[in-house]
Amino acid sequence: MIPIRDHNPSRSMAFVTWALMALNIGLHLAVTMQADTDPALWALYRDFALIPAKVTAGQGLGGFVTSVFLHADLLHLAGNMLFLWIFGDNMEDEMGHLGFLVFYLACGVGAGVAQWAAEPWSQVATIGASGAIAGVMGGYLLLFPKAKVDIFVFLIIIIRIIPIPAWLMLGLWFALQVFNGIGSDANAGGVAHWAHAGGFVIGMILALPLFVRRGGPAFWNRTQGHPAHPEADYGRLSPSSIPPVRRGGPARRDPRGPWP
């Protein structure tokens, strides 16, 4: 279940969201070119990743911020940027450019604190923007629980793109993080589940003042959980302009007949 877009157009240019995406992509390319050997990569992680055991020893506190801008590989980066692109512009629209930047960084730091608290003696390096983006998703859920999100569903031979409400997609995602985090190592399977879950909760908490300013429950009553502005209507796919070919292949000219 992969989200590909929402039906919640932003009303202003999401400069900070695009800048964050560009910064993450640029830094990953720079790291890939500079740290081109395993020893060089691990040296970089030692200095800039979040390593809970170092934090417990009173070192590496800067990793709470710098780790948010590091990614393990292109798939890790692409997944995070997809989620930021879908949900970040609407939160920036509501919070303003500077407010959203502060919110994003605070969620990233809070997610790192949650991961550290889950396993303070772990020497596993934690990297990635997913904790900060989880906070964006938590805030989005609070403000737009019924906004439509198109998801790509792949089940063996069933491939569909279907719209579902944000509360269902984001709620399932959050529940999965908690479920995978309980009873497992904090970095089980290479995924920092508690950073995800912690960032999500922190994002909802940090978005509460904005929600209250919008009217709190009265805001939900006015909008029914949908965006306050018209939702995007992508419609159906346009029919192809390529003419169909009948079974048996295209008609052929009779070589014995005259040419027109």
What Cα–Cα distance (Å) separates residue 142 from each residue in 26, 45, 169? 31, 34, 13
Residue 34 or residue 241, greater confidence: 34
Question: For residue 133, which of 74, 88, 92 has the smallest C-alpha distance?
Answer: 88
d(CA 57, CA 80): 30
Predicted confidence at residue 222, as pLDDT, reads: 87
pTM: 0.86
What Cα–Cα distance (Å) separates residue 4 from each residue in 75, 88, 178? 15, 13, 23
pLDDT, tens digit, for every residue of 180-230? Answer: 888 666 555 578 899 999 999 999 999 999 999 999 888 888 888 888 777
d(CA 162, CA 149): 8
Angle, vertex CA 83, rays to CA 82 and CA 84, nearest 5: 90
What topology is assigned to 2-223 in CATH?
Rhomboid-like fold (1.20.1540)
Residues 6+ apart with CB under 8 A from 253: 259
Predicted confidence at residue 14, as pLDDT, reads: 95
* Mean pLDDT on 83-102: 97
What are the structural domain ranges in the chain? 2-223
